[in-house]
Structure 1
Amino acid sequence: MSAPLPIALYGTGQVGRAVLARLERFADASLVVVHVENSRHEWSDLDADAAQIVLDATASDTVAARHAEWLARGVHVVTANKLGRGASLARADAIEQACIASGARYGDAATVGAGLPLLRSLRALRAGGDAIHGVAGVLSGSLAWLFAHFDGRVPFSTLVREARAAGYTEPDPRIDLSGEDVRRKLLILARAAGVALEADTVQVESLVPDALAAADLDAIDEQLATLDAPMQSLLDAARETGARLHFVARWHDGVARVGLETLVAGHPLAAGGGTDNRVAIRSARYAGQPLVIQGPGAGADVTAAAMLDDVLAIRDALRGAQAIRSVATSSKNASIGWGRLIA
């Protein structure tokens, strides 16, 4: 593409700022940011001519609700927002149909695993004729970090504060602790595997005590201490069996659940550390031993990197399509000229 590719960015939190920083370091004249918006004001509508790619670095349902509309208008969407394909099945289907109708692309690698090749692998397996039988994984980088560090010496609430300060959790950590964030990711994975999974069919075990769940947003910090006693009891029980606590999402044979599990050290999902996500995929091809994908699954930088990867993939695809059109036009003109010559 000779002309710069105009980009609109929604969300200027940690991920949005990391996206802007990467674009600035990238310093590629083929990409230009023409619109930046945050949630301090009401989200505005987007002029279809203002951008060719929308970047959604929010956690906003309002912004996610516009994905299908933008796609239908031919605007490509790259998102870290799980409320597109990880919300209602109707919204996920609308996104899919809009892509098919308009040819616009939907870059969602950052929604699960912060860019790990999870969605790409599932889609490639299906495209190759494989049948996905089940997916299980540690899908929350924030909860992986919390349980990797939780050994009883430091209260669980202290670790939650540290994870929030590091940008591992959502600004409201109850979204992570409730299992809601993991539920959305499991929906995205299952739907990528070809399963029309409704959101309310996922069984979710929340870690949030009632007092913390009922607290106003500005009172969350003082209520985090209500986590400490129940989490310590769960840790003690796991230690008695020689296992450790892990927050796991599973889909198999139409049953989907999200919750705390005790796993022994040799379990496929118990390896790794830090914010690592670990996902095991069982399919016809990987029936005896699952395909395991592991790597960092949280943090603004890796999420922003995944979004930029999707942007560059769209840019390169547009360049390729333009090059093909140019070659086709040149060939057609050459054929016409040759035809006139021999006439």
Structure 2
Amino acid sequence: MKILKFGGTSVANSKNILLVENIIKKEASQNKVVVIVSALHGVTDHLIKAAEYAAVKDDSYLQVVKILEEKHLQLVRELIPVLEQSSWLSFVKKHFNDLEDICNGIFILGELTSRTKDKIVSYGEFLSSNIIAARLLHKGFDCLWMNAAELIRTNSDFTHAKVDVDITEQNIQKYLNDHQNQIIIGPGFIAQDDNNNITTLGRGGSDYTASIIAAAIHAEELQIWTDVSGMMTADPRLTSNAKPISEILYHEAMELSHFGAKVLYPPSIQPVMSKNIDLKIKNTFDPDAKGTLISHSLEKTENEKNHIAVGISNMSHIALLTLEGSGMVGIPGISAKLFQGLNHGNINVILITQGSSEHSITIAIHEKDISAAEKAINTSFADDINLKRIEPVKIESGLSIVALVGENMKSRSGVSAKMFGCLGNNAINIRTIAQGSSERNISIVISEKDTRKAINILHEEFFESEIKQVHLYICGTGNVGSKLIQQIYDQNQYLQENLLINLRIAGLSNSRKMLFSDRGIPEEEYANWIELGQEASVQDFAEEIISRNLRNSIFIDITASAEIPRVYEALLKRSINIVACNKIAASSDFDNYKTLKNTARNHNCKFYFETNVGAGLPVIGTINDLIKSGDKITSLEAVLSGTLNFVFNNYDGSRMFSEVVAQAQKEGYTEPDPRLDLSGTDVARKILILAREAGYPLQFDEIENVGFLPEACMQGSVEDFYEKLTEYEDHFKKLCSDAQREGKILKYVAEFKEGKAKVGLRHVSPESDLFHLYGKDNIVIFKTLRYSEQPLVVKGAGAGAEVTASGIFADIIRSI
């Protein structure tokens, strides 16, 4: 014999009940079956609402009862033929009249007891099971309605009664021996005490009813039919990548259901587990789907044996209560006293952890129990609190429990490190940890606002070996930014296939607009993103990134804004990686530079700015590698401005200096204001950044900048600047001719030696490494303790949107 249980969504309406009928027909063609059904979807909640309205003398209960009555009458009209409806319509009306009478009594008394509440909610399962039985009888099935409440005996602890297993099993066995119908259908959730008062088995109790019956008769199988295709590796409402679990051990299922897996009511597992009866979770709306098999032992494939965990579960609205004090150390009976107090307050403890110093005990409970638990604990330890031996209980709320579950976690080293490492890398602060001696469950308590992020991080780490989701927030969509975005779209397929990385552009911002999408802005929407965006500000953009709290987030600054680096520290403190093309932060006051570097290190995230110097050239990376390997930079000599190199490579006096500068700006080699390049300020920032990365605490004002622009060129607007360049053409011709007379060329050179830095024009001879440098190329010549005689040289294109974008792209990949 098989036991089939159908949940509220499975019997929500006549359409769904016809699906249930087909499933029962198929199963009953091969086996005798007992069918247990829940109330129609939402009915139990509305019954409770009606009772609560009546208790506070709100006559809205009458409307609720009428709505429920009509719902059930309509179900009869849709399932039972017209000629046979009369008796069943009367049946429904009679019981709703009774229900209304009970609510009237509550209204008059202004009191709702647990016993009365159980009586009221019992109508849901009672009516649904009778109507479905009537439908099956009409269709010619050998069907009998069973009043399961009369068979399941409990104590009088109303709303969550405890079952008397021995008497209940005897009642069930006798009833099913006496009634040999092919289909027996009955209500779940409800039972009776020794005085024949209606009791209930707790929310989710219909599963429990089915499990009790299955255990009593040693059923071949228990099937729980619901609206999902079995248990999932995580809550699909929180992670879109949740996968069905095809097979799972009882102990694993117990752990998952205890910590919030909604598919299965935790007490329902115990009866069938003790009798070694297989339990299947199936989908009413996709009956051919495999579902989940829960069993004592499973034949796992080699691949399944390698899976560390089977699922992630979570429970929200959790509070932590901590009892601590020096008076607890070495004193026996403290824990017993604590839990006796909680027991008297009828408080369910979900999780327990205690420091080895015995100085504190922390428990997790439901938030709804905070007041009762606080009172119970402080009352139990009143004397110790008055004597200052123990502190009054401390309370933290707004928390969640997240549990990683799996039999294969037992005796497996590195599981905790992997779990805590990936959470730490994404700024998930763990308030407390609990792991049972069975080692099949690691539970953590975190802030509720981090729940979705934590589950997605863990799911990706333990169940999604294929693809890692990375969320990019790009600030600056100009020339370089637009090239980077296109490179990301073009390269993403390759990254997914070869590096198992999926880059999602989760946010875009310029000086006017910003747009966000957790699932990524698709390429086809990018062209119109400004029209779709909202009004932008730097602070709002940063705050939105933090509030969205997505895993594996990277902030990318492709601007020259002095305002944007002010949000770096707040982002780094949330373990959001930063990739900066913007030089402002790394060349700011040395203390600020060190603060950002230390913040990144302390919060286990990355702060990369390779493109600050040399665009896509590996200059900063080379310095870092040398330092890490124990080398020391003794001097640097470099041409660091692609703009200035382009200008002096193309200016020989045959055409105006202003024309060459304008060409450099047109081709995208200069800043919007070319004076930033030609003044040497940009080069000074670059050599400052290199010196700092080499380990020297240099400030910007310590750099000697030998300028070549007349002071008048630095005044006014960009248009005024170009006019002044024309006026001072003779000055620029003289600079060029002086170098030519010596057989040399002009290069704007940055140098660092003996702790000092200098930038300025230099006459460079043909034998110098700086001489053969063409177009917009950059060069950096490193002298180190190891490269003392023959220097290390990095040379290549040092400007241009494409190469700069590719350097940013490389930093993004490096930071993942």
Give the Cα separation in 2 of the matches to 1:114 and 1:73: 28
Matched, 1:80 2:80: no
The alignment partner of 1:60 has SS state of coil
What is the Cα deviation at residue 76 of structure 1? Answer: 0.4
Instruction: Please state how far the C-alpha of 1:3 moved relative to its aligned partner.
Output: 5.5
Q: Distance in 1 between matches of 2:743 and 2:793?
A: 23
The aligned counterpart of 1:36 is 508
Q: Which 10-residue stretch deviates more, 11-20 or 159-168?
A: 11-20
Paired position in structure 1 for 2:490: 25
Question: 1:248–1:261: 8 Å Cα contact kept in structure 2?
Answer: yes
Structure scoring higher RCO (CA < 8 A, sep ≥ 6) equals 1
Residue range with higher mean Cα deviation, 151-160 or 49-58 = 49-58
CA contact (8 A) 1:12 1:37 kept: yes
Q: Would the alpha carbon gap of residues 225 and 218 (structure 1) be closer, same or farther in structure 2, given more than 3 Å must change?
A: closer
SS of structure 1 residue aligned to 2:507: strand
* Whole-Å separation in 1 of the counterparts to 2:640 and 2:764: 15
Q: Give the direction of change, closer, same or farther, for the CA distance of 1:56–1:214 in structure 2 (3 Å limit).
A: same
Aligned to 2:508, the other structure's residue is in SS state strand
Match of 2:554 among 31, 53, 70: 53
Q: Give the distance between the partners of 2:722 and 2:732, measured in 1 at CA.
A: 17
What letter is aligned with 1:24? Answer: Y
Bigger Cα displacement from structure 2, 189-198 vs 18-27: 18-27
Residue equivalent to 2:40: none
In 2, the alpha carbon distance for the partners of 1:132 and 1:3 equals: 37
Question: Could you say which residue in structure 1 is the equivalent of 2:686?
Answer: 185
d(CA) in 2 for partners of 1:16, 1:226: 35
Q: Is the CA contact 1:186–1:250 (under 8 Å) kept in the aligned structure 2?
A: yes
Pair 1:109-2:610 in alignment: yes
User: Is 1:208 aligned with 2:709?
Assistant: yes
Q: Show CA shifts across 1:258-283 (max 9, x none).
A: 10000101102222211110111111
1:162-311 correspondence runs (5 A): 162-311=663-812
Distance 2:776 2:576 in 1: 33
- Indicate how the Cα distance of structure 1 residues 267 and 33 shifts in structure 2: closer, same or farther if over 3 A, else same: same
Partner of 1:337: none
SS in 1 for 2:538: coil
Q: Output one character per residue of 1:184-242: Cα deviation in whole Å (capped at 9) or x when no partner.
A: 11011111111111111001122332222111245433333245221111111111111
Q: Give the letter for the 2:487 counterpart.
A: R
Residues 205 and 65 (structure 1 numbering): CA distance in 2 closer, same or farther, change over 3 Å?
Answer: farther
Q: 1:241 to 1:96 in 2, by over 3 A?
A: same
Separation (CA, whole Å) in 2 of partners of 1:38 and 1:118 = 28
Counterpart Cα distance in 2 of 1:157 and 1:118? 31
Is 1:9 equivalent to 2:474 in the alignment? Answer: yes
For residue 280 of structure 1, give the secondary structure of its aligned residue in structure 2.
Answer: strand
Other structure's SS at 2:539 match: coil
After superposition, the C-alpha distances for 1:11-52 in whole angstroms (9 at most, x for unaligned) are 122111111111121234611112111124642331314461
Give the distance between the partners of 1:64 and 1:166, measured in 2 at CA. 27
| Contact persistence 2:715–2:721 (CA under 8 A) | no
Q: Distance in 2 between matches of 1:205 and 1:75?
A: 39
| Alignment map for 1:92-171 (pairs within 5 Å) | 92-171=593-672
Q: Is contact 1:65–1:91 with CA below 8 Å preserved after alignment?
A: no
Cα–Cα, structure 1 residues 295 and 227, in superposed 2: closer, same or farther, change >3 Å?
farther
TM-score in terms of structure 1 length: 0.88
Q: After superposition, give the CA deviation of every residue in 1:47-94 in whole Å (9 maximum; x if it has no partner).
A: 314461011000011112222321122110011111121222122111
1:246/1:263 contact within 8 Å kept: yes
- Contact 2:644–2:748 at 8 Å: present in 1 too? yes
Query: Could you tell me which amino acid in structure 2 is paired with residue 68 of structure 1?
Result: E
CA distance in 2, matches of 1:215, 1:269: 34
Alpha-carbon separation, structure 2, partners of 1:37 and 1:217: 26
Change (3 A) 1:137 1:3: closer
Farther-moved stretch of structure 1 (62-71 vs 238-247) = 62-71
Query: Does structure 2 retain, via aligned residues, the 8 Å contact 1:156–1:227?
Result: no
Of 86-95 and 74-83, the range deviating more from structure 2: 86-95
Which structure has the larger Rg over C-alpha atoms? 2
Q: AA paired with 2:506? A: V
Q: Distance in 2 between matches of 1:197 and 1:236?
A: 35
> How far did residue 98 of structure 1 move?
0.8
Cα distance, 1:125 vs. partner?
1.1
SS of residue matched to 2:782:
strand
The secondary structure found in structure 2 opposite 1:94 is helix
Deviates more, 1:130-139 or 1:59-68: 59-68
Query: Sequence identity, in percent?
Result: 32
Instruction: Report the equivalent of 1:329.
Output: none
Gaps of 5+ in 1: 316-343
**What's the secondary structure of 1:148's corresponding residue?**
helix
2 CA distance for matches of 1:230 and 1:69? 48
- Stretch deviating more after TM superposition (171-180 or 107-116): 107-116
Deviation at 1:182, TM superposition (A): 0.4
Give 1:112's aligned amino acid.
V
CA distance in 2, matches of 1:3, 1:131: 37
Distance 2:510 2:723 in 1: 28
Contact 1:263-1:270 at 8 Å conserved across structures? yes
Size of the aligned set, in residue pairs, is: 315
**More moved, 117-126 vs 43-52:** 43-52
Residues in 1 aligned to 2:725 and 2:748: alpha-carbon distance in whole angstroms: 18
Which secondary structure does the structure 2 equivalent of 1:82 belong to? coil
Tell me the distance in 2 between the aligned counterparts of 1:231 and 1:155: 9
RMSD in angstroms over aligned alpha carbons? 1.6
Structure 1 contact 208–227 (Cα < 8 Å) conserved: no
Runs of 4+ in 1 over 6 A off after TM superposition: none
3-state SS of the aligned residue for 1:281?
strand
